[in-house]
Amino acid sequence: MGEGEPRACAGAVVREAVGACLLGLLRLVYHRPMSENRESTPRGSGLGGTVGSTGDGVFRNDANRLGLDYATEAGLLPKPPAPIIDIHAHINGRASARVWARAADLYGIERVYSMSRFQDAEGVREELGDRVRFIAFPDWSHADKESVHRGAYLDIIRQYRERFDASVVKFWSGPALVDHAAGDPADLVEFDSHWRVKQAELATELGMMFMVHIADPDTWFRAKYTDTARYRLKRDHYASFERMLDRFSQPWIAAHMGGSAEDLDFLDGLLERHDNLYLDTSATKWVVRALGGHPNDRVVRFFTRWRGRVLFGSDIVTMDDHLRAEKANTISIKSEQASTEAEAFDLYASRYWALRAMLETEYAGESPVVDPDLHMLEPDRFGEKAAPRLPGLALPRDLLLDLYRTTAESVVEAFAAAR
């Protein structure tokens, strides 16, 4: 790992330039024979084929540091074993929904479960039709900040259920909730405290299941949450979550590999203790970095053992601000992630590319997506545009079928149909 941009080799002035150049060369050596033989490389072989071969090594944007042509790359991936269900995304804005749909078409994504902002949900539904299903999600823009995750959320849950037929309620319970909750957070931040229980009871009454964001990357606990009296240790966040898993027996999807892709033994224990717990693969940067930190065979063993308990999700966030330089929303840092339609396409397609390349192929190289956590933690070792290893797991196709579709159907869609 390192700077990883072949461009940096010419000047050789960046930190670790030699290592970066070597890595860049390794990447090129790995791909060049393949791209030269592109015609004779069978597509859809499931072995990685020519995935990554369109990269010219020229940095385009933070979602495309290798200069990939994501539209062409989609055709180099194996054909998915079935149309894919993305169980975790945030589609906001009609224009960006159309850009997402183009990426989704190319990457074989048939349906998406979206935590759209409440005020955007109607427009997104008009744009995507039956292709989108909604997950109830707090209205972060609510004028009464104290109420966002408390009383106001009860009302929002009911409206998502009635107006948008949502069958899943999302609880956002990252460590930073203590900063966002406003007022005394004691009635909220412990996962089985007053308001969470009230919301879960309402969801149960309305026939809804759960999705939860618990904890955050290890990197954030090391760099941002150093005040442990305030943010607690990562493991501390799981005790009350486990109590809720026992208390409310419907299915729970713990997003972002349960918040602990860094520790697969811990996730083994969680899944062993709770039959109603499922995970999703969403948060591409975090999940690629964390899974790439394990030997590939350990990760393959994990997905094999927990077949039927892990769902495919991307955590793609779309917004119309991604299509323009002038931002309507100056609060969200996500507004700045793209400023043209081409950049927005790269932003959305890169997540599908990275996840599918990781899960389906033997890709051996760096992720095309900048991972700022590397530089944040080790600025002497990683440049600002560095990215981690992307582990090509080459999961068998019958397992991919479960991950991409069957588990979402048997858990989420069967649950919704039974209500």
Minimum distance, C-beta of residue 113 to Zn ion, in the bound complex (Å): 10
Number of residues that bind Zn ion (CB under 5 A): 1
Cα–Cα distance measured from residue 217 to residue 223, given in angstroms and rounded to the nearest whole number: 10
Task: Give the binding range for Zn ion (CB under 5 A) out of 25-33, 215-223, 313-321, 374-382.
Answer: 313-321
Write the binding mask 269 to 308 for Zn ion: x where contact by CB under 5 A, - elsewhere.
Answer: ----------------------------------------
**What 3-state class would DSSP assign to 411?**
helix
The vertex-381 CA angle with 291 and 265, nearest 5°, equals 25
Pick from 262, 315, 321, 371 the residue near Zn ion by CB under 5 A: 315
Answer yes or no: are the C-beta atoms of 399 and 407 closer than 8 Å: no
Please name the amino acid found at residue 305.
R
Taking the least distance from each CB to Zn ion, the nearer of 286 and 363 is 286
Minimum distance, C-beta of residue 115 to Zn ion, in the bound complex (Å): 6
Q: How many angstroms separate the Cα of 126 from the Cα of each of 97, 121, 139, 166, 321?
A: 10, 9, 20, 16, 19
Look up tokens 């999705």; give the residue: 211
Task: Give the chain's count of helices (H) and strands (E).
Answer: 20, 11
Question: Which residues have C-beta within 8 Å of that of residue 123, sequence separation ≥ 6?
Answer: 93, 94, 97
Taking the least distance from each CB to Zn ion, the nearer of 255 and 403 is 255
- Residue 213, phi then psi, degrees to nearest 5: -100, 110
Taking the least distance from each CB to Zn ion, the nearer of 137 and 303 is 137
Write the binding mask 122 to 161 for Zn ion: x where contact by CB under 5 A, - elsewhere.
Answer: ----------------------------------------
Taking the least distance from each CB to Zn ion, the nearer of 50 and 314 is 314
Taking the least distance from each CB to Zn ion, the nearer of 50 and 199 is 199
Taking the least distance from each CB to Zn ion, the nearer of 20 and 169 is 169
Taking the least distance from each CB to Zn ion, the nearer of 218 and 315 is 315
* DSSP 8-state code for residue 323: G
Task: Give the binding range for Zn ion (CB under 5 A) out of 138-146, 157-165, 190-198, 314-322.
Answer: 314-322
Q: Which residues pair with 173 in a beta bridge?
A: 214
Cα–Cα distance measured from residue 361 to residue 373, given in angstroms and rounded to the nearest whole number: 25
Minimum distance, C-beta of residue 331 to Zn ion, in the bound complex (Å): 17
Minimum distance, C-beta of residue 148 to Zn ion, in the bound complex (Å): 16
Pairing of strands 84-91, 316-318: parallel
Minimum distance, C-beta of residue 34 to Zn ion, in the bound complex (Å): 34
Taking the least distance from each CB to Zn ion, the nearer of 216 and 366 is 216
Minimum distance, C-beta of residue 255 to Zn ion, in the bound complex (Å): 6
Minimum distance, C-beta of residue 159 to Zn ion, in the bound complex (Å): 20
Answer yes or no: are the C-beta atoms of 206 and 248 closer than 8 Å: no
320: nearest Cα among 144, 90, 166: 90
Minimum distance, C-beta of residue 210 to Zn ion, in the bound complex (Å): 14
Q: Give the binding site for Zn ion (CB under 5 A).
A: 315
